[in-house]
A and B are shown apart, each in its own frame.
Chain A
Amino acid sequence: MKILVPVKRVVDYNVKVRVKSDGSGVDTANVKMSMNPFDEIAVEEAVRLKEAGVATEVVAVSCGVGACQETLRTAMAIGADRGILVETDVDLQPLAVAKLLKALCDKEQPQVVICGKQAIDDDANQTGQMLSALMGWPQATFASKVAVSAGKATVTREIDGGLETLEISLPAVVSTDLRLNEPRYATLPNIMKAKKKPLETVKPADLGVDVTPRLTTIKVAEPAKRSAGVMVADVAQLVEKLKNEAKVL
């Protein structure tokens, strides 16, 4: 059984992002980039399924600029067997990525696509769902537990107010939540081995996909700065302020 894992190159979660002065987006020049943390969980889950003997091959896919090959190497250091880079300088939106992944699914015929539920840069939370729709495959999003057996997957999902367990037939799309697993640290020998694993580069045109953006970003702005707080003298004053100033009571 083959598992396909899409991985996205994003601004590292430790970096304090800055908005470009012209408001066109977030400044990524000289900023540390890493694999989207949800995707790291997806790679870990796929590699665990391989180690458990359920999966036979884990293929990592990244769509974007040439430097995404670094993200693929990281996935391979965790344990993915090979990587596919869909290289383009176009700013990719979720639908474009879903179409690229559909083309790769048609070619690679994976039984499961495990993807992060969202990327920490744009927080769109759309690609996995769109891929599922385009493929006509079942989907189980926000997985906190995944068990795969002959022809089906049992997925526990984190939903408002508790957990929901779904059984879906394969092939299917599963998206990962934070609590699914704790990704391992890449071991030093595996980092060296990742260099020797196959990495194929294709262009969107090779896959017959038009990745032209369908949405236009009008403006990106920083969140409003928090204004200074006030000390209240007593509970009575607090209640008074909550009622009359904040109007929340």
Chain B
Amino acid sequence: MILTQEQEMIRDSMRAFAQERLAPFAAEWDRDHTFPAQALKELGELGALGMCVPEEWGGAGMDYMSLVLTLEEIAAGDGATSTIVSVQNSLPCGIINKYGTDAQKEEWLKPLARGEKLGCFCLTEPHTGSDASAITTRADRDGDSFVLNGVKHYITTGKYAQMAIVFAVTDKAAGKKGISCFLVPTATPGYSVARVERKMGQHASDTCQIVFDNCRVPATALLGKEGEGYKIALSNLEAGRIGIASQAVGMARSAFEAAVRYAKDRQTFGVPIIEHQAVNFRLADMATQLDAARLMVWRAAQLKDAGKPCLKEASMAKMFASEVAEKVCSDAIQIHGGCGYTDESPVERIARDVRVCQIYEGANDIQRLVIGRAIAAE
């Protein structure tokens, strides 16, 4: 696969930004749990927060191939920032663009796509993740409004977002078809951040438990029709998975590049360690795995851009990329030796950051289920 001139320019521009504005600060943000607000503002101005939203709604009007190139570069700069960017693009922007009315797009999509506001996606609950139909948060109609009650879990950007896309049960008897979707300003009374998780990695991105306690929103906050929530929740899956896959490639690439730099610099037995075959072959394997993962991501994105089905290909890319990324990061630590286990090198942080790519946006076990079912149905 060969990139077009525009795609190369997108990659180069985002690479320059990520290497100058994200990478030098990533370690500090991780250590201090700093939310990268300024960097996100700048990314919004570059058009990276609403990439696939049409220009008339404040977005960059670009395709998924451009999105994956951008996400890889951002992730190579800082994994946590790439998660915030990935969520903003695929979930709030992607979903409102697809299901929002013009009024909802005016109110929310424009500021989200421009990066003036951030959104979060409240689906998962303490007792249910992959089985989204089992949610219990309720939205009870009361005249011209809905009243939300329940608890949402592991919500990316839950603390810093200005708006939340919330899934809640409006008709318990209807099962999956009784779930609806709401656009909720996080300043609404009754929306509260109950806690911020202490995670293994990605410390610059907040992951929150959100409590809805008699959180009242007008009926106009309903996204799509009543009962369409489950469909909406599952509607942009491929895009989200392709995004996570490119993040995994980006993070692993930066660990790989750190390993190459170290191997050329570090000397043992009188030569740079890259000249030892054990190190050299390890780097060869890392580079090959990374390349294979990237090609799978690009193929899935190209299928999506061509309007072709890509559920299986997106799942394969997400699963493969996130698993080889863990391996590549682990190998990068090995090449660094003791230094790789300390915060002297960036690879211990990247290895922590990349691990969650196997879990969020559909755990890899779910990806295997999707791929396996597709094979059985072929």
Bound-complex Cα distance A70 to B9 (A): 9
Q: Which residues 189-237 in A have Cβ within 8 Å of B in the complex?
A: 189, 191-192, 194-195
Return chain A residues, CB-CB under 8 Å to B6: 191-192, 194-195
- Assess whether A188 is in contact with B10, with CB atoms less than 8 Å apart: yes
Given contacts A77-B13, A188-B62, A189-B61, is CB(A70)–CB(B45) below 8 Å?
no
Greatest chain B CB density within 10 A among A34, A77, A185, A187 is at A185
Rounded to whole Å, the gap between the CB of A227 and the closest CB of chain B is: 17
Verify if B70 is at the interface (C-beta below 8 Å from A): yes
Rounded to whole Å, the gap between the CB of B14 and the closest CB of chain A is: 8
- Assess whether A73 is in contact with B61, with CB atoms less than 8 Å apart: no
- Assess whether A186 is in contact with B13, with CB atoms less than 8 Å apart: yes
Bound-complex Cα distance A192 to B5 (A): 10
Verify if B48 is at the interface (C-beta below 8 Å from A): yes
Return chain B residues, CB-CB under 8 Å to A195: 5-6
Chain B 37-64 interface mask (CB, 8 Å, partner A; 1/0): 0000000011110010001000011100
Return chain A residues, CB-CB under 8 Å to B51: 188
- Assess whether A73 is in contact with B5, with CB atoms less than 8 Å apart: yes
Return chain A residues, CB-CB under 8 Å to B45: 187
Bound-complex Cα distance A189 to B8 (A): 14
User: Range of interface residues on chain B?
Assistant: 20 to 34
Residue in B closest to A188 when the chains form the complex, CB atoms:
B47
Return chain B residues, CB-CB under 8 Å to A73: 5, 9
Return chain B residues, CB-CB under 8 Å to A74: 9
- Assess whether A192 is in contact with B13, with CB atoms less than 8 Å apart: no
Bound-complex Cα distance A200 to B1 (A): 29
Verify if B247 is at the interface (C-beta below 8 Å from A): no
- Assess whether A185 is in contact with B60, with CB atoms less than 8 Å apart: no
- Assess whether B9 is in contact with A187, with CB atoms less than 8 Å apart: no
Tell me which of B13, B16, B55 contacts A191 (CB under 8 A).
Answer: B13
- Assess whether B9 is in contact with A189, with CB atoms less than 8 Å apart: no
Bound-complex Cα distance A191 to B10 (A): 7
Rounded to whole Å, the gap between the CB of A36 and the closest CB of chain B is: 15
Q: Which residues 111-150 in A have Cβ within 8 Å of B in the complex?
A: none
Tell me which of A34, A70, A189, A194 contacts B47 (CB under 8 A).
Answer: A189
- Assess whether B46 is in contact with A188, with CB atoms less than 8 Å apart: yes
Tell me which of B5, B8, B16, B47 contacts A187 (CB under 8 A).
Answer: B47
Verify if B17 is at the interface (C-beta below 8 Å from A): yes
Rounded to whole Å, the gap between the CB of A228 and the closest CB of chain B is: 13
Rounded to whole Å, the gap between the CB of B255 and the closest CB of chain A is: 19
Interface of B toward A, CB cutoff 8 Å = 5-6, 8-10, 12-14, 16-17, 45-48, 51, 55, 60-62, 66, 70
5 additional A-B pairs beyond A73-B9, A188-B47, A194-B9, beta carbons within 8 Å, are A77-B13, A188-B10, A188-B62, A188-B66, A192-B60
Closest 7 CB pairs of A and B: A188-B47, A188-B60, A186-B13, A185-B17, A187-B46, A191-B9, A189-B60
Subset of 11 A-B contacts with CB under 8 Å? A70-B5, A70-B9, A73-B9, A186-B13, A188-B47, A189-B60, A191-B6, A191-B13, A192-B60, A192-B61, A194-B6
